[in-house]
């Protein structure tokens, strides 16, 4: 009979693997250097793919963030991090119209997307600098901020928020958080 650790590890690793596979499959649906998740759904007409990917990626990252940063009696960091991922998801699901016909919706799309992303990074900075956070949480938050580097590189190369910019952070963040959960569970 498998232990709880083994069952949860298999489930979390499977969820991470599915995220990477989903990302690779969708990468063939668009130009990863110029298109982005919003373009996939609201411009290219692949709304279902965009909605499914956004929901899966954001909710998985929200759950993992809540698990990693909400432990050790500091649930505020976990809830704030998860709320930021949900805010980004809401932004992604609000239609974006590059033609400018639906300016208000496009503005809300951008607002929620930026609030979710920037808010998450601010939670990571807060986690690193506050004395309330455990050493493990500070270490995880530092790794998450380092994982932003490839995303920023893709941003600089494409000069826009491209698919590679988005998914490099989404997948690396999830991978770091899964690694953290696996090593934390093994040490118990």
CA-CA distance, 158 to 46, in Å (whole number)?
Answer: 22
Kindly report, residue by residue over 50-83, the tens digit of the pLDDT. Answer: 899 999 999 999 999 999 988 766 678 889 999 9
- By the 8 A CB rule, do 130 and 6 touch? no
Decide if 168 contacts 150 (C-beta within 8 A).
yes
CB atoms within 10 A of CB 159: 9
Q: Rounded to two decimals, what is the model's pTM?
A: 0.88
Residues 89-138: tens digit of each pLDDT: 999 888 877 677 777 888 898 899 989 999 999 999 999 998 778 888 88
Rounded Cα–Cα distance for residues 175 and 1 (Å) = 27
């Amino acid at each position: 009979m498998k232990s709880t650790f083994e069952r949860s590890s298999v489930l979390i690793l499977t969820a991470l693997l599915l995220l990477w596979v989903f990302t690779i499959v969708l990468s063939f649906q668009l130009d990863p250097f110029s298109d982005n998740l919003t373009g996939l759904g609201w411009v290219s007409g692949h709304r279902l793919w965009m909605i499914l990917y956004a929901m899966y990626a954001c909710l998985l990252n929200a759950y993992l963030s809540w698990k990693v940063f909400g432990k050790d009696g500091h649930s505020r960091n976990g809830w704030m991090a998860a709320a930021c991922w949900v805010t980004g998801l809401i932004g992604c699901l609000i239609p974006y119209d590059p033609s400018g016909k639906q300016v208000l919706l496009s503005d809300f799309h951008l607002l929620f997307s930026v609030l979710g992303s920037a808010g998450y990074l601010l939670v990571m900075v807060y986690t690193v600098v506050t004395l309330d956070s455990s050493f493990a949480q500070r270490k995880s938050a530092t790794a998450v901020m380092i994982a932003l580097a490839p995303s920023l590189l893709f941003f600089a190369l494409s000069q826009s928020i491209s698919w590679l910019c988005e998914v490099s952070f989404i997948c690396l963040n999830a991978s770091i958080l899964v690694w953290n959960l696996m090593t934390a569970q093994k040490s118990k």
